[in-house]
A and B are shown apart, each in its own frame.
Chain A
Amino acid sequence: MNDPRAKEPRNHGPQVGRSVPRKETHAKLTGTAAYVHHLVLPGMLHGKVARSRVAHARIRGIDTRAASALEGVYRVLTAADVGKLIPDPHYGPAFHDQPILAIDKVRFAGEPVALVLAYDPHVAQAAAALIEVDYEPLPAVYDEVEAMTSKAVVHEVLKPAGTFPDLKHLAGKRDTNIALDYHLERGDPAKAFAQAAHVFEHTFKTQQVLHLPLEPFVSLADPADERLTIHTASQSPSFVRIEIARLLGWPENRVRVQVPFLGGGFGAKLYIKLEALVAAAALIVRRPVKIALTMEEQFYTITKHAATLRIKSGVDSAGRIVARECEVWWNGGAYADIGPRVTQKSGFTAPGPYDIDNVSIASYALYTNLPPAGALRGFGIPQLVWAYESQADMIARAIGMDPLEFRRKNILREGRPQATGTPMRDAAIGQVLERLAQRMQWQAPFDRGSGTVRRGRGMAIGFKASISPTTSVAIVNVSADGSCHLLCSTVDMGQASDTAMAQIAAEVLGMPAERIAVVHPDTDVTPYDMATLGSRSTYHMGHAVKRAAEDARDKLLALAGELGVPPETTPIPDLFKKKYGMQAGNVIGMGSFVPAYAPTDHATGQSSNVTPYWMIGATGVEIEVDTETGVVTVTRMINVADAGKAINPAVVDTQLSGAAIMQLGFTLTEQMHFSEGQVTNPSLADYKIPGMLDLPAVIENEAVEANEQAGPFGAKGVGESGTFGVSPAIANAIEDAVGVRLTSLPITAEAVYRALRKAAGRPLDDE
């Protein structure tokens, strides 16, 4: 994407570290930006999904007669139709467990059972409601801890996809809901607990929430010319191509995946969502098919793991944590999606950014009969930070130590080994903590309110490893007039990656970022990228782009040498003119990147190099609690992060506050409610996301002065860091204000009010 109206700065200077206006500014402000949402192809059919109304059942039969008979219906498809095209129609990034349409069985309420195709989407919708399914109900399991031992089993047999080595041992396992058990052992926790001066054990819970991008999931497949083109709102075009090609038994080059802008992603639009269904439908009817979900249907597509977290800490008489035991149960819902990676990749950071010699972690991915859970802005980290940073304050309070002092005493310092054994490197944990404390004026007197409005403050700090090892490839194409295309499959879903990547290429090529047009993902044209997820793009794709630009620059210099002209001073257009006799030709640079990685040991969870970089995020809040209603108002929120060197400081600031406000919703108001596995609040009317009136009066963000030595121009990821500390900072502030401790999310006014009544010895009648 390039903004032809953007004026190039006259003296452009360094491009990295400059708050370059986003390339898509004009397109987004005038409503002309391209989203799949708007895409229409000639002869296109609309697909509407008929969904399961029960959580767990055998399918005795599907009656599609009334739907098929409705005037205007083109075709009704079930698993039987899909199976003729794709003999094994199961997909998924970690397990091949999810059928394109339900086969013989449904595993959650909302699961796609049939698809109606019609030229008019209203007709398709009406017909979908006429599909009758005869179910034989099965016992269901909803709770992640119960799923460990439940007689209700969601999948008869485990089917790991084969892509992740640490899942291979699960192949063929039967009668279990455990989709991955990850263990880490370090030191001698039993001995350390026995010797500890204090031992604390608490259990924390987080609720199921979801991403809710304002552009709901949408995909369109076009089967023209014996190949398949999929236009899709996806964060992972390369994965879509590979997975669809695998399902069809085709070579990758028969599948083309194109992605324009996304109207939000947050981890929802990853791997396969609608793409397999839309591809199968289009190939069966040999016409373009578009499926655009409604807001309601997003609640049945992908969510964030609810989790139960038990954390036990041994502390010595000086306030040092000497041992920690963490058990985490992740509620993955009916299909694994990327849940097992959340279980492992986040699991190993469960003890927090603390220097603890004796650690034991067990992290379990569990199948239940709820809508599937995957990655949501933080990949499990916000759930873990909720537990360990809530407990940090509970311990500090119990041993009479200031919470800031307790953290200072225990945080992981540079060079010290993290629980996996990997030494911390370029992880500004101490700096982030100190900057937060300074901004909060932690040592200064604090107004605690009076009467029915009590004030408190709290802080929390978390950290995250990058998903690893993953690959990015980029191409820089210099045209004869000196303008430049950057081809990469990073998806711009609002995080300004087009702009940041152009800045990196421009820095190398010595030109303003405005001169570089970024080609949006098109797998026929843009090279492979693992996906836009986990705050990996700036580092991984950033490296690939830098290398591609360096390759192009070196070729331009070589061309100057070949032509016998001064390499540094000859304008690029003159090189091409001299070489080809006119404005013609290209210089193409290529770069790829995959970081070094040492896999974790299956028995001990240890690794010498578990991540290419660490992300650090901390949040401090000042709050008011209305003791008559339980309403919590965040009056000031401070988000501090280590993002390495900021490529675009304005964008980094926006990423930090955007992530923190999103997490504020997950902390105070958002929760999927269920009745027998059915979501009872699947709309924005009943599921409350933050709006203007929910903002803290003051929001401050800071990316500390830091440098990731291994990063492109010192940069690393920042898209999730703002989420880490929000929830426990608020719970800590509530205890500071009114002396009650909340251990389950969300912290609704009702939850606070109930806790206040209980603490006063006057619990509500229903407790």
Chain B
Amino acid sequence: MKTIRFELNGEPVTAQVEPHHNVVELLQTMGLRGARESCGQGLCGCCTVLVDGLAVSGCLYFAAQLDGARVDTIERTEREGELDVVQQAFAECGAFQCGFCTPGFVLMTRQLLAHNPAPSEDEIRHYLSGNLCRCATYPEIIRAVQLAARIRKAGA
């Protein structure tokens, strides 16, 4: 057991972790539901979280590695009350079905738009190709990413 300290959604936290615990397990013990383990191999994107601003697979990332890091999850927006631009666009386009993969897509879309404010459809497909949606809501997600980019541009 090791004690780690990190920043979670803007708040300083401490946690006791075992060497084999991954980030998803840790976050779930802290009551967060947004990152979910699904494939367990870093292939589906359901467990996506941001560590120091970069998207990682929470199922492959050891909890102990979070020591000293800044961690952001989908719950950050909920704490702040309002849906952000990406979530609003997903809502508008109906870009989810069962919802299990949705937080991962939202986080990856945010990261995409931060790097590339006006992605082409091809760029969207490539950037999000590591996130799987078994309900296959892909056409709606592509439209949502495009809408989010337009809203951001209009607001900038």
Which A residues contact B (CB, under 8 angstroms)? 19, 21-22, 24-35, 37-38, 122, 211-216, 261-266, 294-296, 493-496, 650-651, 654, 657-662, 683-685, 689-693, 695, 699
Contacts and interface: CB of A to CB of B under 8 A. Distances in A.
B131 to A, nearest CB: 8
Q: Which of A25, A213, A294, A659 has the most CB of B within 10 A?
A: A25
Interface in B11-38: 20, 28, 32-36, 38
Contact of B91 (A25, A33, A34, A657): A25
Closest 5 CB pairs of A and B: A31-B34, A263-B100, A494-B98, A28-B99, A494-B97
A212 B44 CA distance: 12
B101 A214 contact: yes
Which of B39, B40, B103, B142 is the most central at the interface, judged by chain A CB atoms within 10 Å of its CB? B39
18 contacts: A25-B91, A27-B99, A31-B103, A32-B78, A34-B33, A37-B36, A38-B28, A216-B38, A264-B135, A494-B99, A495-B97, A650-B94, A654-B97, A683-B41, A684-B39, A692-B141, A692-B142, A695-B138
Given A654-B94, A662-B134, A30 B41 contact: no
A684 B133 CA distance: 12
Given A35-B100, A695-B138, A295 B132 contact: no
A661 B138 contact: yes
Contacts of B74: 30-31
Given A30-B75, A654-B97, 17 more contacts: A21-B94, A28-B96, A29-B87, A29-B90, A29-B96, A32-B78, A215-B36, A215-B100, A261-B99, A295-B38, A295-B40, A296-B40, A494-B98, A650-B94, A684-B132, A689-B134, A692-B142
A215 B38 contact: yes
B137 A263 contact: no
Interface in B98-115: 98-103, 106
Contacts of A214: 36, 38-39, 44, 46, 98, 100-101, 132-134
Nearest to B130: A691
Interface in B21-70: 28, 32-36, 38-41, 43-44, 46
Given A24-B99, A294-B40, A654 B137 contact: yes
Interface SS majority for chain B: loop
A687 to B, nearest CB: 10
A421 B40 CA distance: 50
A699 B139 contact: yes
B151 interface: no
Contacts of B99: 24, 27-28, 33, 261, 263, 494
B116 interface: no
A494 B101 CA distance: 11
Given A25-B91, A30-B34, A122-B20, A658 B129 contact: no
B153 interface: no
B137 to A, nearest CB: 6
B33 A38 contact: yes
B98 A212 contact: no
A629 to B, nearest CB: 20
Contacts of B100: 35, 37, 213-215, 263-264
Interface string B2-15: 00000000000000
B17 to A, nearest CB: 13
Given A30-B75, A31-B78, A35-B100, A266 B38 contact: no
B152 interface: no
A28 B129 CA distance: 21
B125 A264 contact: no
A262 B128 CA distance: 23
A294 B39 CA distance: 7
B121 to A, nearest CB: 9
A208 to B, nearest CB: 17
A337 to B, nearest CB: 20
A688 B51 CA distance: 28
Contacts of A26: 83, 91
B136 A685 contact: no
A19 B102 CA distance: 20
A29 B109 CA distance: 13
A668 B110 CA distance: 31
A28 B102 contact: yes
A24 B33 CA distance: 15
B135 A295 contact: no
B77 interface: yes
A29 B138 contact: no
A692 B128 contact: yes
A717 B139 CA distance: 22
Nearest to B36: A37
B146 interface: no
B129 A654 contact: no
A254 B39 CA distance: 35
A532 to B, nearest CB: 12
Given A30-B75, A263-B36, A685-B43, A691 B132 contact: yes
Contacts of A213: 98, 100, 134
A650 B96 CA distance: 12
Contacts of B46: 214
Nearest to A266: B134
Contacts of A660: 136
B44 A684 contact: yes
Contacts of A263: 36, 38, 98-100
* Chain A CB within 10 Å, residue with most, of B97, B101, B141, B142: B97
A296 B40 CA distance: 9
Contacts of A22: 94, 96
